Chains A and B, each alone.
Chain A
Amino acid sequence: MTEVLGDFIRALRSADVRVSTSESIDAGRVVGLVGLDDRRTLRDALAQVLAKSEDEKAAFEETFDMFFAFDQFKSRPPAANDDRADAADSAEADGGEGDDGEGEDGAPQQSGSPSAPGSGGMGGEPQGEATPATDLASLLERGDQAELQMALAEGARRAQLNRIRLFTQRGMFTRRIMELMGLDGLNDEIERRERDGNGAGAERLAELREGLRGQVRDYVEKQLEIFTANSGRQLREEVLAKVRLSNIDRSDMRFMRELVRKMAKRLIALHSRRKKVSRRGQLDIRRTIRANIEFDGLMFHTVWKRTKIDRPKVMAICDVSGSVAQVARFLLMFLYSLQEVLPGVRSFAFSGRLGETTDLFDREKLEDALVEVLRDFGGGSTDYGQAFMDFEEIALDDVDHRTTVLILGDARSNYGDPRGDILKKIHARARRVVWLNPEPRTMWNSGDSEMRRLQPYCDKAVTCASLKDLERVVSELLRSAV
């Protein structure tokens, strides 16, 4: 039982539900308490110790249904009884007419083990010869689904099927489980019958063997699905997070959005918990008295009222031309997914002229807004000088000592004057100016890149080409922000 629970928890973990050791122990206690008789109660009860958020609950239900589809738990004994009764019935009713028996027996089987298709024709064989056969052979010929399943589960356990990780292991596990269930004995039996001239018997057994193989394969397939539900996705996520954003395939876009959302969520969780307080310079009388009782009310220690520092204002100026557009898209996606910890984001986009896009993001859904931004501002030839001039006009007055200005661009200004003097003004007013350049550092200053002239007015200039880079930058922003 504990083993099944352990496997289940492992399956949950692979489905992105975080289960700690103490929670596993609780799960064990819960099972001991409510028992296994009532599937719904068990599910309700386990959900409460193992899944602790809305998302996790959904993942839990899915995994639970899939994992216990085989009914390893409760319904086996009654099902076994039914099957046996059925088998006995059909054996009695059979007499000589084997055909009838097969038809009758098909139905209960299917209802008994819905997760084992491909098992048709296994139960209904007439039980003619009483030849002493090997375990597996007699089991197959008796066609007792419940016992077969039990043997299968046992074989799977001994073959350590719960360690399956890759789809290429399917064949290996199928064979190993068959062997552990007594394949060799079965083969011997088939051979023996052939030798004895019982061709029909051998053929039937061989047929049964193939049926069983199909069943085992299905079982392995299912387990693979359970235990590796997410590993493929995890791998893909890992790769995509590191790949250069400009190289990302269109087909991966939807996936990337998910990923950004996930990363943003992690950042929120990380940073929403760090609220520092600072001195305000007012005496907190209540707490001062409290701190000084031990001195008979004499005020030795003073306690000051504290106040929280405001969250920073962020202004993001994004070049949305050509190759930078893709990175800009993800930066904006990040910033707007962080509303919870970065409530005051203002965004500006430019290629030729610059415009504010904050309202657009407030008004529309993230995806629609991004498309609109790229349509309205993207595509022109880049002119940093013009963009900075526009920014000076629109927003320079709002830049103050709490504002962090993020500039995303490759600094390629088509040989126009990038107006470093305006950036200098911004730098003087802002708390920080951070330049994110999607090009690798070696490419800076080559050709029409003006990093050389702009970098002096930035507190920081970093390469930022992949989601990982973006995450790092944003995380740093949040850390120094709060």
Chain B
Amino acid sequence: MSTEKKNAVAEIEAVRKGFETRGYICNAHIATSIFLAERLQKPLLVEGPPGVGKTELAKATAELVGKPLIRLQCYEGLDEAKALYEWKYGKQLLYTQVLKEKLGDLMAGANGLKESMTRLHDFDDTFFSEEFLEPRPLLKALWQPGGAVLLIDEIDKSDDEFEAFLLELLSDYQISVPELGTIKARTTPIVFLTSNNTREIGDALKRRCLHLYIPFPDTDLEQRIIRSRVPEVEEELRRQLVAFVQGLRQLDLKKLPAVSETIDWARTLVLLHARELDADLVRNTLNVLLKFQDDIDNVDGEINALVSKAMQAG
């Protein structure tokens, strides 16, 4: 019993290491949630500010477990025809044409309407069958032999109805097609949902999921991320730029720079052959980090202070 539990901790560490070798640097907290999601076979709802690597997490997991990643991007107006399945209308129409032609042969020798009907009933009903079903991401994920990693991205952008419709999929890994009945997952997929919190997610959905909140990384973690993602950047510059971004996040801005922006900025600085930060360099490249003119104007006055602070930290 206790050895089994010891394994849990070891396995979480293994997950973390696995991510690390694939270039996704994370802390034990995130690794724990992946471990749990896999073991409990529960979907994982990932929340956090934009750009902290929510989608990346799903991609890294897919790589780690060696299963294909199936992604469904949510947007307003997304409905089940686009998310789940669609009938292949063209083929169905052709089928009816063929059926019409063959009907004569089929009915040959039948006496009276009643016998014709009986024969028709005996005939296989393939019109609504899996052959005519065009699988969309959700159904694909359920059908994928060997399982898949399903990423339902930005669930908060979808409508309430779609959220409600997901409940069946998330709790039982099955979906209902009215003409066919329920379709169960062949292998339970690992499901990720991400949300930027533009609206509150319903309780029913939250209850069915594990919940992971990814905040902005701390200095140490962010440095490791930069080291892994932009290895060209020199150590001193890396320390300075991370310290600068961390300082920037303390300010009251419309949109705080996330990890993805830090990475972009690090790449920019590498391209510019920068060796260390200075106020002019920061001023010229600030638009990589900040995406609102208001923010850039606000920060402008504080650049000198922030840079000198970052230099000290570096």
Cross-chain contact A30 with B2 (CB below 8 angstroms): no
- CA separation between A23 and B159, bound complex, in Å? 25
- CA separation between A293 and B89, bound complex, in Å? 8
Chain B CB within 8 A of A158 CB: no
- CA separation between A41 and B7, bound complex, in Å? 12
Cross-chain contact B207 with A45 (CB below 8 angstroms): no
A30 is contacted by which of B36, B159, B203 (Cβ under 8 Å)? Answer: B36
Interface hit among B60-68, B208-216, B281-289: B208-216
Q: Smallest CB-CB separation from A286: which chain B residue?
A: B81
Interface size class of A (residues with CB under 8 A): 35 or more
Cross-chain contact B36 with A48 (CB below 8 angstroms): yes
Taking the closest CB of chain A, its distance from the CB of B101, in whole angstroms, is 14
Cross-chain contact B160 with A45 (CB below 8 angstroms): no
Q: Smallest CB-CB separation from A54: which chain B residue?
A: B213
Taking the closest CB of chain B, its distance from the CB of A273, in whole angstroms, is 5
Query: Taking each of A22, A37, A49, which has the highest tally of chain B beta carbons within 10 Å of its own beta carbon?
Result: A49
Cross-chain contact B40 with A26 (CB below 8 angstroms): yes
- CA separation between A287 and B81, bound complex, in Å? 9
Query: Restricting to A276-323, which residues have a CB under 8 Å from any CB of B?
Result: 286-287, 289-290, 293, 296-297
Chain A CB within 8 A of B93 CB: yes
Cross-chain contact B211 with A51 (CB below 8 angstroms): yes
B12 is contacted by which of A18, A37, A41, A273 (Cβ under 8 Å)? Answer: A41
Cross-chain contact B40 with A33 (CB below 8 angstroms): yes
Chain A CB within 8 A of B308 CB: no
Q: Smallest CB-CB separation from A265: which chain B residue?
A: B200
Identify whether the interface residues of B are mostly helix, strand, loop, or mixed: helix
Taking the closest CB of chain B, its distance from the CB of A249, in whole angstroms, is 32
Q: B93 to chain A: which residues have CB within 8 Å?
A: 297
Chain A CB within 8 A of B176 CB: no
Interface residues in chain A, defined as those with a beta carbon under 8 Å from any beta carbon in chain B: 18, 20, 22-23, 26, 29-30, 33-38, 40-41, 44-45, 48-49, 51-54, 57, 268-269, 272-273, 275, 286-287, 289-290, 293, 296-297, 340
Question: When A44-B33, A57-B213, A296-B96 are in contact, do A34 and B8 touch as well, CB less than 8 Å?
Answer: yes
Interface residues in chain B, defined as those with a beta carbon under 8 Å from any beta carbon in chain A: 2, 4-6, 8-9, 12, 28-29, 32-33, 36, 39-40, 42, 45, 47, 81, 86-87, 89, 92-93, 96, 159-160, 199-200, 202-203, 206-207, 209-213
- CA separation between A297 and B94, bound complex, in Å? 12
Q: A268 to chain B: which residues have CB within 8 Å?
A: 200
Taking the closest CB of chain B, its distance from the CB of A176, in whole angstroms, is 34
Cross-chain contact B9 with A38 (CB below 8 angstroms): yes
Query: Taking each of A18, A30, A37, A44, which has the highest tally of chain B beta carbons within 10 Å of its own beta carbon?
Result: A44
- CA separation between A29 and B28, bound complex, in Å? 19
Number of A-B contacts (CB under 8 A): 87
Cross-chain contact A52 with B8 (CB below 8 angstroms): no
Cross-chain contact A44 with B29 (CB below 8 angstroms): yes
Cross-chain contact A30 with B160 (CB below 8 angstroms): no
A290 is contacted by which of B29, B87, B96, B211 (Cβ under 8 Å)? Answer: B87
Taking the closest CB of chain B, its distance from the CB of A240, in whole angstroms, is 25
Taking the closest CB of chain B, its distance from the CB of A81, in whole angstroms, is 16
Taking the closest CB of chain A, its distance from the CB of B248, in whole angstroms, is 21
Q: Smallest CB-CB separation from B209: which chain A residue?
A: A52
Taking the closest CB of chain A, its distance from the CB of B187, in whole angstroms, is 20
Taking the closest CB of chain B, its distance from the CB of A264, in whole angstroms, is 13
- CA separation between A18 and B203, bound complex, in Å? 10
Cross-chain contact A30 with B40 (CB below 8 angstroms): yes
Q: Smallest CB-CB separation from A49: which chain B residue?
A: B210
Taking the closest CB of chain A, its distance from the CB of B203, in whole angstroms, is 8
Q: Smallest CB-CB separation from B8: which chain A residue?
A: A34
Cross-chain contact B8 with A41 (CB below 8 angstroms): yes
- CA separation between A36 and B9, bound complex, in Å? 10
Q: A26-B40, A44-B32, A53-B47 are in contact. List 6 more A-B contacts (CB 8 A).
A: A33-B39, A35-B5, A38-B9, A48-B36, A57-B213, A268-B200
Q: Smallest CB-CB separation from A272: which chain B residue?
A: B199
Taking the closest CB of chain A, its distance from the CB of B256, in whole angstroms, is 15
Query: Taking each of B4, B40, B96, which has the highest tally of chain A beta carbons within 10 Å of its own beta carbon?
Result: B40
Cross-chain contact A40 with B213 (CB below 8 angstroms): no
